[in-house]
């Protein structure tokens, strides 16, 4: 058996269901590791140890009496600090919400509580899931467990770091332009941005209503599937939520990708935003693994990458300004420099420009679905390996293209998994994108890849600082 803190959800839930592991024991192992090592990473902004111990004890009693109610029963988890948690401070890392204590749980929090999960605490994020990394907001930025001098990316930065560090087997993040997939990529874990509307955003502090997605991060794709089973579903209180049947996500993990047709967006990789040679080599090696499993790979042509960036970022800056307008007018100094720069110009975007961008989104989403109709999945790198943790010029948000944003605009499900390690030890990442609501195929591909490769066997090594 792996050390308790490195058990996956799938492994721990089996042991708990057969009474070989107590939720109390597992929770104490996670709390002890956080206590000993999180000063190195700052991945938590709030620890809920007392609540976790109470929930673990209650889970243990119920499971002993009548068995688990779900595969998350008795499993520790954490939440990005933009998910509302009743009675627990929810700040979005922002000084404007320093004293914000919600009175109601988010939809996803409610689902995890009902599933018997054990809340360990709240994870660091970039301010309001958008501006960062920042050193002038409520808490310090999280660090990457593979190398503390490196960034865990954002905005679900603490979530990615906490999973890779073995602080918790499960967490939820949010993704408006890549904020689940980028930390998953930087930290070498699995992270899924589900189809837009599949997971309710009710009770999640908004970033950009039209592109916000809530979703899971975990060590493996199988664990991501287990979390999706808990949080996916129709919520009438989220106007963007889709009322669709929820499949059995773990049943889709057959390991069989024979015959899978993989599209590779050649124009993005060759012309629009060519990856570095090392990232390209890691990506090609991942495609070879799929070929070896019986999949076929073919190039596809997508609309130019910059069109997605122009469309999404114009919409986002206008929506972000509207969300934060009162504070930007009355107390702009409370925002971190990075976020303020990234949203303040939204006040100058005219309604016509916003609507033109929304019309452009229609075109791009249709074009994307037309390409997706010709393949089973798309594959491409999620990002380059993580860089140093240092301030990013805020203008880069507007000028830099990404491989993640297009799938927020299209709404398609997109999973990031680890596909090896660079010479400096930082993880490479593979992004797997599916048709709308076809999470089962995306998860099946991610799971098959992980089981065919050795990358899930390697964990970062963290050594506690000696105290004087």
Partner 1 sequence: MTDSPSHDDIVLLARQAGLNLPPAYLQELVEAYGNVRQMIDRIPTGRPRGDEPAHVFVPTKFLPAGQ
Binding mask 33-72 for partner 1 (x = CB under 8 A): ----------------------------------------
In angstroms, the CA 249 to CA 71 distance is 12
Catalytic residue, from 13, 43, 94, 155: name it.
155
Residue 213, φ and ψ in degrees, nearest 5:
-135, 140
80 catalytic? Reply is: yes
281 in contact with partner 1 (CB under 8 A): no
Q: Which of 2, 101, 114, 345 binds partner 1 (CB under 8 A)?
A: 345
In angstroms, the CA 71 to CA 163 distance is 18
Residue pair 83/108 in contact (Cβ under 8 Å)? The answer is: yes
Task: Using CB under 8 A, count the residues that bind partner 1.
Answer: 41
Binding mask 226-245 for partner 1 (x = CB under 8 A): ----------x--x------
Of 95, 214, 87, nearest in space to 155 by CA: 214
Q: Cβ closer to partner 1: 197 or 385?
A: 197
200 in contact with partner 1 (CB under 8 A): no
323 in contact with partner 1 (CB under 8 A): no
Q: Which of 360, 430, 436, 443 binds partner 1 (CB under 8 A)?
A: 360
Strand order in the sheet with 427-434: 44-47, 118-123, 76-80, 170-175, 213-218, 190-193, 414-421, 427-434, 377-381, 261-265, 296-300
In angstroms, the CA 460 to CA 164 distance is 7
Q: Cβ closer to partner 1: 67 or 332?
A: 332
Residue pair 444/252 in contact (Cβ under 8 Å)? The answer is: yes
In angstroms, the CA 401 to CA 405 distance is 8
338 catalytic? Reply is: no
Residues 6+ apart with CB under 8 A from 118: 23, 27, 52, 55, 56, 59, 74, 75, 76, 77
Binding mask 363-402 for partner 1 (x = CB under 8 A): x-x----------------------------xx--xx---
Binding mask 396-435 for partner 1 (x = CB under 8 A): --xx------------------------------------
In the block, which residue shows the tokens 């919409």?
315
Q: Which of 47, 325, 367, 452 binds partner 1 (CB under 8 A)?
A: 325
Q: Which of 35, 284, 288, 353 binds partner 1 (CB under 8 A)?
A: 353
Catalytic residue, from 22, 80, 182, 312: name it.
80
Residues 6+ apart with CB under 8 A from 171: 77, 78, 79, 80, 123, 156, 159, 162, 163, 216, 217, 218
- Catalytic residue numbers read 80, 155, 179
Task: Give the interface with partner 1 as residue ranges (CB under 8 A).
Answer: 210, 236, 239, 306-307, 309-311, 313-314, 317, 321, 325, 328-329, 332, 337, 340-342, 344-349, 353, 355-363, 365, 394-395, 398-399
């Amino acid at each position: 058996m792996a050390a308790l803190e490195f058990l996956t959800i799938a492994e721990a839930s089996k042991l708990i269901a057969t009474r070989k592991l107590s939720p109390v024991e597992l929770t104490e192992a996670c709390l002890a590791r956080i206590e000993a090592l999180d000063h190195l990473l700052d991945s938590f902004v709030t620890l809920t140890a007392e609540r976790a111990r109470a929930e673990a004890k209650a889970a243990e009693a119920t499971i002993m009496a009548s068995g688990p109610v779900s595969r998350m029963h008795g499993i520790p988890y954490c939440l990005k600090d933009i998910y509302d948690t009743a009675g627990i401070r929810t700040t979005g890392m922002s000084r404007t919400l320093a004293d914000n204590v919600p009175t109601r749980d988010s939809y996803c929090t409610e689902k995890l509580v009902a599933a018997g999960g054990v809340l360990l605490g709240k994870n660091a994020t970039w301010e309001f899931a958008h501006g960062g990394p920042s050193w002038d907001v409520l808490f310090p930025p999280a660090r990457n467990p593979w190398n503390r001098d490196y960034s865990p990316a954002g905005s679900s930065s603490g979530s990615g770091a906490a999973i890779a560090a073995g602080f918790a087997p499960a967490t939820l993040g949010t993704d408006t332009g890549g904020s689940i997939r980028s930390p998953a990529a930087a930290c070498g874990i699995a992270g899924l941005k589900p189809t837009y509307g599949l997971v309710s955003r009710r009770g999640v502090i908004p970033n950009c209503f039209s592109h916000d997605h809530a979703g899971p991060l975990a060590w493996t794709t199988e664990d991501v599937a287990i979390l999706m089973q808990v949080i996916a579903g129709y919520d009438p209180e989220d106007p963007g939520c889709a009322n669709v049947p929820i499949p059995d996500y773990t049943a889709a993990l057959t390991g069989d990708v024979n015959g899978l047709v993989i599209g590779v967006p050649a124009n993005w990789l060759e012309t629009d935003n060519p990856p570095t040679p090392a990232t390209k080599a890691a990506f090609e090696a991942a495609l070879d693994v799929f070929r070896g499993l019986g999949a076929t790979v073919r190039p596809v042509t997508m609309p130019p990458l910059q069109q997605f960036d122009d469309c999404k970022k114009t919409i986002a800056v206008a929506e972000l300004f509207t969300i934060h307008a009162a504070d930007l007018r009355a107390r702009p100094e409370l925002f971190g420099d990075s976020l303020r720069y990234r949203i303040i110009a939204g006040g100058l975007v005219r309604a016509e420009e916003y609507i033109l961008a929304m019309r452009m989104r229609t075109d791009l989403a249709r074009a994307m679905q037309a390409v997706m109709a010709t393949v089973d999945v798309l594959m491409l790198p999620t990002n380059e390996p993580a860089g140093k943790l240092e301030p990013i010029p805020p203008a880069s948000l507007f000028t830099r293209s990404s491989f993640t944003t297009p799938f927020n605009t299209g709404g398609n499900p997109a999973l990031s998994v680890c596909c090896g390690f660079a010479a400096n030890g930082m993880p490479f990442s593979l992004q797997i994108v599916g048709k709308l609501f076809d999470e089962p195929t995306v998860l099946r591909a991610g799971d098959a890849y992980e089981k065919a490769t050795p990358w899930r066997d390697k964990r970062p090594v963290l050594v506690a600082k000696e105290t004087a």
